[in-house]
Structure 1
Amino acid sequence: MDSFSKFTQNVSTSWSPFAAKVGRSLTQYKQLASEKLTTTAEVTELPSDYLELEQRFEAVRQTHQTLARLAKAYVAPPTTFDMQALQQQFTTLTTKIGGGKQTEEQMRAVKEAEEAAAAREASNTYQHAIARASLDVSEKVGLEEPLGAALFKFGSIEEKVGNEKIKQDKLVGTKFVQPLVDTLEGSIAMAQNARKQVGAARLSLDAAKGAFKNAHGDKVDGARREVEGAEDHFVTVVEEAMKLMRAVVESPENLRHLVAFVNAQLAFHRESSALLADLAPELEEILVTQEALYRHEQH
């Protein structure tokens, strides 16, 4: 019997905080429903400086979300399959299935295919794709031909431009995208939660005010204390939310991340411009020579 009494006491002790939380939530829900269903409910106004700061915070939060999403797409590699590596792996797999035991040569072929796919994945940009296609065609056309020579020079430069693109993407990922995500999941998430706490505290305060207004007799003092406690809590959570939102809005890290993004882009375009500036006159020279030869052959 004593054991059962201790058990019920333990359950009661552990249940009380949960029951209190459910009670507060129910009170807030009733207050919210009352405000939505009637026009006579009294609503405590939030401080004007809080509302102004909340608008600024919301703009910063949405900017972080938008820029993080767009920047991820900006640095994402093209969604293409390495068909050559896949075909080689498929051939090796079918040989393995047909021949039973995998030979050392087959194992080596699988490893080479995996390494080739990894190498292409590491250089998976549109510039690298253009470079591979150009270099491949240049060999088929022949480097002694004007078009073959031009494609070889073009492909070689595009490969270097692709390498610069990878450098840029890595910098953007580490110095812009990841910091934005960290901020969204860190300080912005904390401020968002604080805003929710403000809303909940406001509903609790207005519910307490309504209960005090309708209290009679010996319940008046208790209802007044509920209002005073709810007011103190409301002021506390508003101040905390403002502190957290202000930390997000006024943080210099937002500008630091933007500067890092711009510098990464600037370095990429500067190096790419220099490479293409050297390539353009060489291609123009080949073009002029080819046009002269073509006109001569026509006559």
Structure 2
Amino acid sequence: MDKLQAFGKNFNAQFTPFAARTQQFVKEQLGTADEKTQLPDDYLELEKRVDALKQVHQKLLSVTSQYSNEPYDYPPNIRESFNDLGRTINEKVQLLSHASSPAEAQAALTAPPSAKPQPKTFSHAIARASLSGSQLIAQTSPNEDPLAVALEKYALALEKVGEARLAQDAQIQSRFLAGWNTTLNTNLTFATKARRNVENSRLTLDSVKAKKKAAAGGDLDNLTEEARVEIEQAEDEFVGQTEEAVSVMKNVLDTPEPLRNLADLIAAQLEYHKRSYEILSELAPAVDALQVEQEASQLPQEP
């Protein structure tokens, strides 16, 4: 029986302030509240800045979260088989170099996987298509065909570009996405909780004022000492929660982590594009040379 009574008292202690806040909130929404304690302008400005920061994080994360999805640039119309994804381009080229017949070449292209399936990125898909095209031409040409050679080189290069993209994605996931998700789900959540505490304490303060004012016949000057103490305690709680929220919001706004994370995002993208440029810059002269050689071989010979 004692435990039941204790539970009842504890429930009433928690429910009564909640009910009072709810009643005050409803009155404010209906426009029937006697008064509403105003928050300082500086506090309201901090709220706006925190809200803006939260929206920035949500919007950018909604886009950049694609870096966690490997096939984000993989064309939906491509139909590649399990065997197509079985081996890396480099492995297939190695197997093809030992093939002595069209049948062995085809077997090399469809060799069972040596590890996990190959990545589904746009660059990897281009590489696989290029190597397949190279072999189709090679199998139907009596001599070494320049286009077949160029396509094989292109396939090897594009696989490297694809690997560079995956390396970029891994860096972005660990250095940008993780950081911005932490800010959104931890730091900004703390700020939201602190602001909620301010709102609750304000509603409590205004509900206490309204109740004591009604008990005093609408005249705050006629409050009892007990009523004054209760109002002062509610005011102290409101001021304390407001100061705490200001501190939390300033910490969220002043932290250098979001900017540092953004710099890491840019660095990862820069490294990927730099690596892609280096790979293609090395490939281009080799393909140009094959083109020049092919054109020269087609010129009429002088008598």
1:127 aligns with 2:123: yes
Distance of 2:192 and 2:146 partners within structure 1: 63
| Selected match of 2:251 from 231, 247, 251 | 247
Could you tell me which of 14, 28, 49 is aligned with 1:21?
14
State the partner residue of 1:230.
234
CA contact (8 A) 2:191 2:248 kept: yes
Counterpart Cα distance in 2 of 1:25 and 1:171:
47
For the residues of structure 2 that align with 1:235 and 1:119, how far apart are their CA atoms? 60
Residue 190 of structure 1 aligns to which amino acid in structure 2?
A: F
- Preserved CA contact (<8 Å) 2:208 2:234: yes
1: distance between equivalents of 2:44 and 2:112?
59
Alignment counterpart, residue 83 of structure 1, candidates 63, 81, 84 = 81
- Aligned pairs (5 A) from 1:1-299: 8-38=1-31, 41-78=34-71, 83-84=81-82, 116=115, 118-120=116-118, 123-142=119-138, 144-216=144-216, 220-290=224-294
Share of identical aligned residues, percent? 36
Structure 1 runs not aligned, ≥5 long: 1-7, 89-111
Native 8 Å contact 2:67 2:172 kept in 1: no
Please say if residues 17 and 204 of structure 2, whose CA atoms lie closer than 8 Å, have aligned partners that are also in contact.
yes
Amino acid at match of 1:136: S
Deviation (angstroms), 1:17: 2.9
**Which residue does the alignment assign to 2:99?**
none
CA distance in 1, matches of 2:135, 2:84: 23
Counterpart code for 1:29: T
Q: Deviations over 1:43-98 (max 9, x none)?
A: 1111111111111111112222222222211342116786316999xxxxxxxxxx
Say if 1:228 and 1:288 are closer, same or farther in 2 by CA, change over 3 A: same
Q: Report the residue type matching 1:171 in the other structure.
A: Q
Going from structure 1 to structure 2, the CA distance change for 1:282 and 1:42 (only over 3 Å counts) comes to same
Q: CA deviation at 1:131?
A: 0.9
CA contact (8 A) 2:37 2:202 kept: yes
Contact 1:215 1:223 survives alignment (8 Å):
no
Cα distance in 1 for residues equivalent to 2:290 and 2:195: 66
Q: Please tell me the residue identity of whatever aligns with 1:236.
A: G
Q: When the two structures are superposed, what TM-score results if normalisation uses the length of structure 1?
A: 0.79
Q: Residues 131 and 159 of structure 1 are in contact (CA less than 8 Å); yes or no, is this contact kept in structure 2?
A: yes
2:84/2:128 contact within 8 Å kept: no
Structure 1 pair 82–182 and aligned structure 2 pair: CA distance change class (3 A): farther
CA displacement at 1:232 relative to structure 2: 0.6
- Shift, 1:194, TM fit: 0.8
Determine the C-alpha separation between the residues in 2 that align with 1:86 and 1:167. Answer: 22
Alpha-carbon spacing, 1:225–1:295, altered in 2? closer, same or farther (3 Å): farther
Q: 1:286 to 1:242 in 2, by over 3 A?
A: same
Structure (1 or 2) with the greater helix fraction? 1
What does the per-residue CA deviation read over 1:197-228, in whole Å, with 9 as the maximum and x for residues that have no partner? 11111111111111122123897333322211
* Residues 30-39 or 76-85, more deviating: 76-85
Instruction: Between 228-237 and 8-17, report the one with greater CA deviation.
Output: 8-17
User: Whole-Å Cα distance in 2 between the matches of residues 286 and 242 of structure 1?
Assistant: 68
TM-score of the pair, normalised by structure 2: 0.78
Q: Could you give the per-residue CA deviations for residues 21-63 of structure 1, whole angstroms, max 9, x where no partner exists?
A: 2211111111111111125631111111111111111111222
The answer for unaligned runs of 5 or more in structure 2 is 87-110
Aligned CA distance change for structure 1 residues 18 and 134 (closer, same or farther; 3 Å): farther
Bigger mean CA offset, 155-164 vs 206-215: 206-215
Task: Check whether the contact 1:134–1:155 (CA below 8 A) recurs between aligned residues.
Answer: yes
Distance 1:115 1:222, change over 3 A: farther
Structure 1 counterpart of 2:98: none
Alignment match, 1:95? none
